[in-house]
Amino acid sequence: MKSDQAQLTRQLNLLIGELVKTVELLQKAARQPIPGVEPHRQPSSPQGADNTPNEAVNPTGTPSLKELSDAVITLANKQGRSAALSVLEQFGVGRVPDLSPAQYPAALTAVTKALEGR
């Protein structure tokens, strides 16, 4: 019984060690730039004077995932989580990352309208 337990403990420790190595490799890889992809640059003023998101702060004219996420968080903070979920549900999702990039502009417009009470 004790030898079985000791063997299981050793195997578990080996698995944990491998898991830690994998996490470290993933963290290192996440910090590496992706060839051919420009890093996201934070705009100088992502929000208007009234602390609501500007319509287009990204130079490409398409909001980034971060810009959209920040807008949804602002909506949730101001009007509650249900208001933010209501906007996301208009696009058939329950989380911002589940939106396709093609939906970002319309989603940001919907969030902005909700913040403005329209």
Q: Is the overall model pTM greater than 0.85, yes or no? A: no
Q: Three-class SS string for 15-28?
A: HHHHHHHHHHHHHH
Q: Over the stretch 23-50, which tens digit does the pLDDT of each residue have? A: 888 877 777 776 766 665 555 444 444 4
Q: Give a yes or no: residue 78 inside a domain.
A: yes
Q: How many domains does the chain have?
A: 2
Go through 37-56 and write b for each residue having 16 or more CB atoms within 10 A of its CB, e for each that does not.
eeeeeeeeebeeeeebbbee
pLDDT(78) > 80: yes
Domain-embedded: residue 98 = yes
Return the higher-pLDDT residue of 27 and 70. 70
Residue 53 lies in a domain: no
- Here the contacts of 101-106 (C-beta below 8 Å, separation 24 or greater) are 101/62, 101/65, 104/62, 104/63, 104/64, 104/65, 104/68, 105/61, 105/62, 105/63
> Which one is predicted more confidently, 67 or 55?
67
Share of the chain above pLDDT 70, in %: 77
For residue 12, being part of any structural domain is answered with yes
The residue range of the domain holding 80 is 65-116
